[in-house]
Structure 1
Amino acid sequence: MAHYAAQHKWMIFVCTVMVFLTNIAILVSPWLLKLLINDLEKNFATITQREITYYAAGLLGLALVAGVFRFGYRRLIGGLAVRIEYDLRNNLFQHLQKMSKSYFDDESTGDLMSRATNDLESIRRLIGFAIVFIVDSTVFFFMALVIMLQIDVKLTLLALLPYPLLAIVVQQMTGRLHDMYETIQEGFADMNTKVQENLLGARIVKAYNLERRELQDFDQRSQRFVDLNRVFYRLEAILFPLFRLLPGIGTIILLWVGGIHVMEAKITIGDFVAFTAYLAMLTRPMIMLGFIINRFAQGSASMDRIYAILDTPSLITDGPDVRHDISQIRGEVEFRNLTFSYPNLPPILKNINLKIPVGSTVAIIGSTGCGKSTLANLIPRIFNVEVGSLFIDGIDICQLPLKTLRSQIGVVQQEAFLFSDLLKNNIAFGVDVTSETEIKASAHSVDLLAQIDEFPDQLETFVGEKGKTLSGGQRQRTAIARAILTHPKILILDDAFASVDTHTEDTILQRLAQVMSNSTTIIISHRVSTVKSADLIVILEDGEIVERGTHLELLAHDSHYAKIHQRQLLVEEIEAMETI
């Protein structure tokens, strides 16, 4: 937090000065009142109305000065809190953008959303109110203490006897409230996760008629959140009365001992009135201390949760030996004895040796779970690989700048993800500047333009969250159009035709022929019809390459690929017979 505050040090300095000036104006008022009372006591018969008016004007002027400065520092600190929240939110988002896929696999989206919204709001409240009250109350307390000691040392020490006990209560309660609020935030994140999953999986819940069970599950999580808040507010309910009770004991001591000191002429009536005013003023910081502890517990717990993200390094970064002189790639891909495994799991890819020339099309086919998608994900460095096992244009992938590498790779996955935006913006997502003509050309290449022209708003159509207003095939083709609009040097189609029929697939592949001739294309599919035109077909089984060749060569081998081909032909024949 000090890093963010340092960026606004002048504003903090001005706020601090205003806090001092505010407290000086407030603390001078009882002293002026003391002078008035002492003057009335000594010169009751001779004092004039004009002199009393001067005192009243002085008190009014001090109140106005205090009000102006208090308004100033509260306005500045409020703006400072919003600005720091803005910087922190942007840095958090920027850091999340850099995190690897494995991080998001381990963390729930609901928890991350809770940290990016609820926790940041708690931090803003801490900065905007709690910290300024800490500074205000601390400055006021010590300035008032000096004046009270000047009036009567013994009376000051006796009146402040309950305050050490108050400090002990503060020390004990702060830690408990911090831990409790951190648990509350975790409970809130748990509810967020449940709500998000149910909204995304609403069709599944309804299809299985499980609304009641899901409601009961959410009710349990919600009840746990309520119970945690009850414990928190029970502690808070104990705290606030104590901050009124203990200073009240000091007031009783003041009335008893201070009254005796007045009667013994150790202090004047004016001193007693001023001392009473100062002690009463100290009550406000003590009451505010309860509020501060509450806010500090919430804000510090939220800060811990935010920094838990910011302090987590990304696993995928540019290394010290990265070559910044490389700004373009040609598209040659080579795997050399590559073996890869996910953390704490056996290898999913074993001894992969494969060289893909520039501009060629390589298809990877195999059973579910054999490592096809994993192999493709290694090319844009979604996961890290061992040094010396994956090369782009003959250069170790770890030496290529991530920005250079990923900006020239187009990836289309089986589950196409679209943003809540216009259709044209989704297609143009991967480029900074483009024309509508280029967008339409890209849509035409995937056999989508004719359907877009039938939409009432055409390219201006709002596709909704995850593209829910489009069919599965339309979403898939939009994702392909998005990839090819970037003119990638390497194009990865990971089961990208799963949501379209074979006729549409043939049409798209024919139209993509020109695009694919200018890119190194890697096609991952279960369908032989998708891969048969590839320059090279690779068959993966249990993470190893068991066969490779062209469509005709592999059929002639009468091995793995031929069996897959025969099986798919049989399925197509059965489906054709069922439609008759």
Structure 2
Amino acid sequence: MNKFRHMEEFFRANKWRYMLGVFVLLFVDGLQLVTPKLLGHITDSLSSHTLSMKQIYFYVFLIILIAVFIAVFRYIWRMLIIGASRDLEFWLRNKLFSHLEKLSINYFHHKKTGDLMAHATNDINAVRMAFGMGIVMATDAIFLTISTIIIMMISVDMKFTLVALIPLPFVALTVTFFGKIIQRKFKMVQEAFSNLTDKAQESFSGIRVIKSFVQEDKEINNFADANKNNLDENMNLIKIWGAMFPLVIFMASLSFVITLYYGGVLVIDKTISLGQFVTFISYLGLLTWPMMAVGYVINVLQRGTASILRLNEILDTEPEIFDDENTLELDDCEETIEFKDLSFTYPEAEVPALTDIDITLEKGKTLAIIGKTGSGKTTLANLILRLYNVEKGKLLLGGYDINQMPFHLLRSKIGYVPQDNFLFSCTIKENIAFADESLPFEKIEEAAKITSVYDDIMDFPQKFETQLGERGITLSGGQKQRISIARAIAKNPGIMIFDDCLSAVDTKTEEKILKNLKEVTKDRTSIIIAHRISTVKDADEIIVLDEGRIIERGNHDHLVSINGYYSSIYHKQLLEEKIAGEE
């Protein structure tokens, strides 16, 4: 399989840029081959005492002119080739991020954040180097080596050239041997960096938990271990690279030793002139760089290849949920939700999360879901959002199978408030208007007032322009929950899903929010997931889940009267409120 398959689009669009860059690079390399020849002519003229001042001025002018052309055109090929590699880095990083955004939620349950960050940084950087300096060095190594050897054979002496270049095959063998080891070591370096990044990200995200459990020293030690492993893997790579590089230089130096001895003999025997000897030495000096570049090229290309393979693993991953040929062309639908004998098991799980669920929720009605932790409440919300696939015909929205609905239509109709109340590192205003950046400020204020967070916001020095920390860490749990609810309300969807989103607010604030929400949800289809009976008691229908099954259903009065699970929770919470009131 073509390992460059995911970058073909970029290369097709930039092939002339690369080709022109390589052409200019070859022109510069060609100019470099002229100077040694000139030095040979000057030396022979000096030896024969035939060099005039006019010729000296001419040679000086010519060498300076060549140097100027080399400088100008070197800048041009750098802008073309290195510039293209930078654009490749930009393009590939956007492609990777866009692909990750489209992958299903289940993918991120099996991938660490640090590993994905390493792909977006180190791996893409390695690809950039391969298609930037890697191409430059490879071109130099091939063109300069072949051209220089041919010129040395023609203009000086074939036998002399062959003898002087005896170490070259050993350089190639050495580089090939070390190259395979470098690729394997670099993969281990990338994995160690991924682990280090993940450890740092996890520690920063969980800093409050770490401090509350006084585990700073433990986390410091864990990070130090990951950092030490990263250092060790890098040092292992450096040792290999460090051994290869001096070995290549040593072999190149042997060519100079051979040249000095054998070339000196040829000059003394007058087989070649002193100028030819100087020319030969100069060309050999030009060869040293390509010989050294071979090792660099192998290292860069091996790293780039390893990184391309790692990136391909991600880019080859197909989303589990996507619009396909069976997707209907819908512009709108009714906000009715139907579960028809639905059972669902999470990928790689053995026990069903939901079993035999039958629910019909008419437009404008409110369904409340209550049950123990792990009973399947959030799973119902995830399936309505189609974060996971369900069997055909088991879940309908507006009478249409959810599997055939366009993603944009489905999710644009739903305002979802999750349990974790994730907020972004931007202003409060931007968080509330997340679904629509052009939302009028009056609508943002209105949403904040409905959720009783307006006064809290106005107490901040920057008010709605207050910049939040990562995940909204600068806010209290209750404030985060209320801003999350305001974000869903500001979206103005036809369906509202509240997933245990009032657990961090006090009872008095909860009553005020629920009163305001009753007005907001009166014409909307709503699902409220909660543990508090006070949150769900006014719903049109309440279902009680236990181990993924509906064990009770009805309105509040009915469920209290049958003396089941719901009734026991209700009386227990009444007693808790009474005790709290007496205190």
TM exceeds 0.5?
yes
Give the aligned partner of residue 36 of structure 1.
42
Residue 4 of structure 2 corresponds to which residue in structure 1? none
Q: Which residue of 1 is the match for residue 479 of structure 2?
A: 474
The residue that corresponds to 1:133 in the other structure is 137
Q: Which residue number corresponds to residue 288 of structure 1?
A: 293
Task: Write the distance in 2 (CA, Å) between the matches of 1:2 and 1:136.
Answer: 24
For this pair of structures, how many residues does the alignment match?
575
2: distance between equivalents of 1:176 and 1:316? 40
User: d(CA) in 2 for partners of 1:510 and 1:85?
Assistant: 52
Letter matched to residue 322 of structure 2? T
Letter in 2 for 1:120: I
Shift of 1:85: 1.0
2-side partners of 1:478 and 1:189: how far apart?
Answer: 34
Any idea what SS the aligned residue of 2:109 has?
A: helix
Partner of 2:231: 226
> Measured at CA, do residues 518 and 156 of structure 1 come closer, stay the same or move farther in structure 2, by a change above 3 Å?
farther
Cα-Cα RMSD: 1.8
Q: Secondary structure at the match of 1:539?
A: strand
CA contact 2:365–2:540 (8 Å) conserved in 1:
yes
C-alpha distance in structure 1 between counterparts of 2:54 and 2:204, whole Å: 74
Cα distance between partner residues in 2 of 1:208 and 1:63: 66
2:18 to 12, 15, 26: 12
**Identity score, percent:** 38
* Aligned twin of 2:9: 3
> 1:342 is matched with which residue?
346
1: CA distance, partners of 2:70 / 2:39: 16
Q: Is the 8 Å Cα contact of residues 420 and 467 (structure 1) preserved in structure 2?
A: yes
CA–CA separation in structure 2 for the residues paired with 1:200 and 1:507? 32
TM-score (norm 2): 0.95
The reply on whether 1:156 has 2:161 as its aligned counterpart is yes
CA contact (8 A) 1:329 1:489 kept: no
Q: In the alignment, which residue of structure 2 is the partner of 1:74?
A: 78
Q: Confirm or deny that 1:507 pairs with 2:508.
A: no
Q: Does 1:559 align with 2:564?
A: yes
The farther-off stretch of 393-402 and 191-200 is 191-200
Structure 1 residue 451: Cα displacement: 2.2
Structure 2 distance, partners of 1:206, 1:501, is: 26
How far the C-alpha of 1:194 sits from its partner, in A, is 1.6
Given that residues 19 and 69 in structure 1 are in contact (C-alpha distance below 8 angstroms), is that contact kept between their aligned partners in structure 2? yes
Which of these residues, 362, 385, 395, is aligned with residue 390 of structure 1?
Answer: 395
Decide which moves more: 547-556 or 150-159. 150-159
| One-letter amino acid matched to 2:525 | T
Indicate if the aligned counterparts of 2:367 and 2:527 stay in contact, CA closer than 8 A.
yes
The aligned residue for residue 444 of structure 1 is 449
Residue number among 202, 205, 218 corresponding to 1:197 in the alignment: 202
Report the secondary structure of 2:488's partner residue: helix
The 1:46–1:217 alpha-carbon spacing in structure 2 relative to 1, beyond 3 Å, is closer
Q: Deviations over 1:373-404 (max 9, x none)?
A: 01110111111112221111111111111122
Cα 1:304/1:149, change in 2 over 3 Å = same
Task: Supply the AA of the counterpart residue of 1:473.
Answer: G
Aligned counterpart, 2:61? 57
1:279 aligned partner, one-letter code: L
Gap change, CA 1:554 and 1:45, over 3 Å in 2: closer
Deviates more, 1:12-21 or 1:552-561: 552-561
Partner of 1:516: 521
Unaligned runs of 5+ in 1: none
* CA–CA distance in structure 2, aligned partners of residues 268 and 104 of structure 1: 71
Letter paired with 2:348: N
1:242 corresponds, among 221, 225, 247, to 247
Q: Structure 2, unaligned stretches of length 5 or more?
A: 1-6
By how many angstroms is 1:45 displaced? 4.6
Change (3 A) 1:45 1:176: closer
Distance of 2:400 and 2:437 partners within structure 1: 28
Letter in 1 for 2:31: A
What TM-score results when the alignment is normalised by the length of structure 1?
Answer: 0.95
Secondary structure of the 1:521 match is strand
Say whether 1:460 aligns with 2:465: yes
Greater mean deviation of Cα atoms: 73-82 or 422-431: 73-82
CA distance in 2, matches of 1:52, 1:439: 80
CA distance in 1 between counterparts of 2:76 and 2:91 reads: 23
**Structure 1: which amino acid aligns with 2:38?**
L
Q: What amino acid is the match of 2:34? A: V
- Is contact 1:365–1:537 with CA below 8 Å preserved after alignment? yes
> Which of residues 122, 126, 142 is equivalent to 1:122?
126
**3-state DSSP of counterpart to 1:7:** helix
Distance in structure 1 (CA, Å) of the matches to 2:562 and 2:126: 66
Q: Is the 8 A contact 1:89 1:116 kept in 2?
A: yes
Aligned to 1:106, the other structure's residue is in SS state coil
Could you tell me how far apart the structure 1 residues matched to 2:494 and 2:333 are? 7
| Partner of residue 3, structure 2 | none
Deviations 1:231-281 (A, max 9, x none): 111111111111111112222222333334444444333322212211111
Distance in structure 2 (CA, Å) of the matches to 1:336 and 1:144 = 78
Deviation at 1:196, TM superposition (A): 1.7
Q: Deviation at 1:25?
A: 0.5
For residues 316 and 410 of structure 2, the distance between their equivalents in structure 1, rounded to whole angstroms, comes to 26
Cα offset, 1:563, TM superposition: 2.2
**302-311 or 182-191, which deviates more:** 302-311
The partner residue of 2:281 within 268, 276, 285 is 276
Contact 1:411 / 1:493 at 8 angstroms: preserved in 2?
A: yes
SS at match of 2:551: strand
Does the CA contact (< 8 Å) of 2:369 and 2:529 recur in 1?
yes
2:437 is the counterpart of 1:432: yes
